[in-house]
Amino acid sequence: MKLLEPSRIGTMEVKNRVVMAAMGAHGLHEPDGDWGDRFLAYYGARAAGGVGLITTETTFVSQALEPFTKGLFSIASDKHLASMRRLADLLHSHDSRLSIQLTAGFGRVIPPPVVPEGVRPVSASVNNNYFLPDDPELVARAITTEEAEALARSFGYAAMRCREAGADCVELHGHEGYLFDQFMTALWNRRTDRYGGSRENRLNFAREAVAAIRREAGADFPIIYRYGLTHYLEGGRDVEEGLWIAQELEKMGVSALHVDAGCYETSWWPHAPQYQPPGCMVEMAEKVKGVSSLPVITVGRLHYPEVAEKAVAEGKADFIAIGRGLLAEPEWVNKVQRGKRDEIVFCVSCHEGCLWQMIAGQPTSCALNPSCGHEIEWPLVPLKKKRSLLVVGAGPAGIEAARAGTARGFDVTLWEASDRFGGNLRPASRPDFKRDIQEYLHYLERLVRRLPVQIQLGKSATAGEVLSFGADYVILATGAKMESAPFAAGENNKILTAVQVLNGTEPQGKRVLVMGGGVIGCETALYLAGQGRQVTLTTRRDADQLSAELFDHNNRFMLLNLIKAAAIDVLPQTMPARVENDGVVVSQGSVEKKIGVDSLVFAGPLIAENSLSKSLGKGSDNIFSIGDCVEPDRIMGAVWGAFNLVREIENMQREP
C-alpha cells in the first residue's frame, strides 16, 4: 500500500503517510498544564499503533493576550519543556515523529467561560464573539500593531524550544477561524496597518511568523501549515483565494500544507459529522496539489483504509490525517499493515467521547473505546480467580460487556432473544448516510464471533432461567423498544413505526407523514426522502428544537441542512390527531387541517425493555442492568456503562 510507504516533509522522513491530527486534550493535563504520564500514555498508544507522525493538541506561543492560557502548557516553562522531551523520546522509541501544533490563540471564537472578568478578548479587528455576539463585554478589540509584531515573533521562540525538546517539526494552527485565520480573512480583518487591507497584507502575520521560525529554529526545521481552502461562509474565503494562499505559503518557506475547510459557523466541515461522506475534503487537497509542489496532507473522515489509500494512490494527497479514528482504534496502522481491517474499530463520528468530553474538562476519549485517555487509570485487570458471567442481550452494551469480560478472564455466556446481534443498531444503520453505524454493527458481529464466548441466539430469558443458570455475575442488557403508535395499525402498512420502516418494511404510497421531530424522526424522514418519497415531518416542538437531543451540534447542524436540502416539509407545533383514508388530520393549536398523505410513520421515544429486570427484582447483589434497558441513551452510554461495570464488577453494589 502506498499509504504505508515512507515519505518526507522537508528534511523529516516519516515511516508512513499516516498523520495523527491535532485534537484538544486538555483533560489529560496535569493541574498546572504539564504533560504528565496520562498525556504521554495517550499519545504513546497511537505511536505504538504505528502512526508515522503524531501532532499534539495546540500549544499557545504566547500567554500575553489571552490570560486563561496561563493555566495551560507553557512553552517557556523548563519543567513543561522537559515533558515535551519525554514525549518526543517516547514517540521516537516507536519510530514515530512528533509535530507540535502552535497557535496564535482563539480571538473571536474564545469560549466566554474562560474570559476573565474585565478582560477584553482580542482579534485581528473589532469582532463580535462567536458564541455570544450580542454581549458587549465580549466584543474583541483589535490587536495593536506592536502586539501583532510581538505575537508573530513568539512563533520563532516557540519553535526553537520545540526543536530543543526533540520535536521533529511544528504545525501552524491557521484554520477554522481561530486568531491566525482571523488575520488571513477579510471577513474578520479590516485593519489599515500592514497586517490588513489587501489579501497580500492579510498574510503578513503568517509571513512574519514563518520567518521567525526559520530564523530562530533553523531554515531546515520543517513547518506544516494547516488552513482551510474555503470557509463555506458568505464573506469568508473562497477556493480561488485558498489556492492563492497555498502558493504564497510555499514562497514563505513552509514544508507542507495541511488542507481542510470550514470555520465555527460551518463547523460540520472541520469537525465532520457522520453525515459527511468519507474523505469529504480530499478534493480540496487535490486542488492544492494542482498549484503547489509541497507535500499536501488531507483530512476528514479518512478512517476507512480503502478511502485513505485511494487518496494517496491516486496522487490527490501525499499524507492522510486521522484524528478521531485513532481514538477509536489506536492500532489502526498496525491492523491495516497486517490486513486486519475486519478488526478495526471505526469511529462513528459522534464527537461525544472526544470533543464533548474535552469541553467538559474530562480526558479526551472515545464513545466506542473508553480506554482512550484512560490508558493508565482504567485497565482491565485479570481476575485473581475464575468467575462466570452471563450477559443477556447482544446489542452494543451486551457485546461490550462480553468483550471486557473475556479480556478480564471471565467465562462468558451471551444470550440474545432475536436471531441476530446488534439490537437497535440494526434499524439505526439502515440509511445509507449511516455508514459509520453500519460498520460498527458489522465490527460487533465479527467481534462476538471471535470472542471465547458461549452464544445462544433466539434465547428469550426468563427470570427463572437466569437464576438457575447460576453465574457468578449477571448483566442484563436487554435494550429498548419504540413506544407504540397512538393510532391503530391500519391495513397495508398505512401506519408504521420508524423502527419498522428502518428494519425494511415499506410504508404505503409515495406521500408519507413522519410523526416526531427527534433524531429518529429526522433521520427516518431523510431516509424516506432519499427513496424519492414526498415527506412531511410533524413535531410538537418549535422549529428551532428539531432534533434538539442530538448531543453534538456539528451532527445536528448538518442533519438540519440535509433535511432542508431534501425539501422535507417541516410542520412545527403540529400533532397528528387522527388518520383517515385520504390523509392525516393534524392539530396546530386550536386549528385542525388535513394533510393528503398515503401513510404515517410514528417516530416516538424509545422506552426501556426492562421486564426481565423487574421480574428478577432487587434481591440479588450479583445481577446488574446496563444500557438502554435502564434508560435509553446514546451508544457511548451503552459502551461505557458496560466497560466500567465489568472493569470493577467485584466492587459494585447493586442499588437497593
Active site residue 178: yes
Q: Strand pairing partners for 607?
A: 481
Condensed to tens digits (0 to 9), the pLDDT of residues 508-517 reads: 999 999 999 9
pLDDT band at 654 (very low <50, low <70, confident <90, very high): low
The grid cell for 476 is 442484563
Are 643 and 636 in contact by the 8 Å Cβ rule? The answer is: no
User: Higher model confidence: residue 522 or residue 618?
Assistant: 522
Are 522 and 563 in contact by the 8 Å Cβ rule? The answer is: yes
pLDDT at residue 483 is higher than 70: yes
pLDDT at residue 255 is higher than 60: yes
pLDDT at residue 491 is higher than 80: no
CATH topology of domain 388-481+607-651: Rossmann fold (3.40.50)
Alpha helices for 253-370 (secondary structure H) = 282-289, 305-313, 324-328, 332-337, 355-359
The pLDDT, as a whole number, for residue 476 is: 97
Q: What is the gyration radius of the CA atoms in the chain, in angstroms?
A: 27
Q: Which residues contact 555 (CB under 8 A, 6 or more apart)?
A: 268, 273, 274, 275, 349, 350, 351
Condensed to tens digits (0 to 9), the pLDDT of residues 545-597 reads: 999 988 899 999 999 999 999 999 999 999 999 998 889 999 998 899 999 99
The structural domains of the chain, with segments of one domain joined by +, span 2-359, 388-481+607-651, 495-604
H or E stretch at 416? strand 411-416
Whole-angstrom CA distances from 382 to 38, 263, 643 are: 21, 46, 14
The pLDDT, as a whole number, for residue 656 is: 42
* Residue 213 to residue 160: CA distance in whole angstroms: 7
CATH topology of domain 2-359: TIM Barrel (3.20.20)
pLDDT at residue 655 is higher than 60: no
* Residue 239 to residue 232: CA distance in whole angstroms: 9
Condensed to tens digits (0 to 9), the pLDDT of residues 72-110 reads: 999 999 999 999 999 999 999 999 999 999 999 999 999
Strands 575-580 vs 583-588: parallel, antiparallel or unpaired: antiparallel
In this structure, the chain runs to a length of: 656
pLDDT band at 26 (very low <50, low <70, confident <90, very high): confident
- Chain-centroid distance of CA 74 in Å reads 27
Condensed to tens digits (0 to 9), the pLDDT of residues 219-248 reads: 999 999 999 999 999 999 999 999 999 999
The grid cell for 5 is 510507504
Read off the pLDDT of each residue in 154-159 and give the average, rounded to a whole number: 98
Neighbours of 447 (CB within 10 A): 18
Neighbours of 148 (CB within 10 A): 24
H or E stretch at 99? strand 97-103
Condensed to tens digits (0 to 9), the pLDDT of residues 589-643 reads: 889 999 999 999 999 999 999 999 999 987 678 999 999 999 999 999 999 999 9
Query: 3-state DSSP call for residue 194?
Result: coil
The pLDDT, as a whole number, for residue 493 is: 66
* Residue 67 to residue 192: CA distance in whole angstroms: 26
DSSP state of 294: S
Are 517 and 547 in contact by the 8 Å Cβ rule? The answer is: yes
DSSP state of 75: T
* Residue 75 to residue 38: CA distance in whole angstroms: 19
Are 182 and 216 in contact by the 8 Å Cβ rule? The answer is: no
CATH topology of domain 495-604: FAD/NAD(P)-binding domain (3.50.50)
The pLDDT, as a whole number, for residue 651 is: 82
Are 337 and 36 in contact by the 8 Å Cβ rule? The answer is: no
Read off the pLDDT of each residue in 368-381 and give the average, rounded to a whole number: 97
Are 97 and 91 in contact by the 8 Å Cβ rule? The answer is: yes
Closest by Cα among 391, 543, 419, 573 to 477? 391
Catalytically annotated residue among 43, 178, 304, 473: 178
Strands 59-60 vs 97-103: parallel, antiparallel or unpaired: parallel
- Mean pLDDT is lowest, of 54-68, 323-337, 475-489, for 475-489
The pLDDT, as a whole number, for residue 181 is: 98
* Residue 521 to residue 508: CA distance in whole angstroms: 17
Q: Is 314 exposed, middle or buried (0-12, 13-18, 19+ CB in 10 A)?
A: exposed
Are 612 and 463 in contact by the 8 Å Cβ rule? The answer is: yes
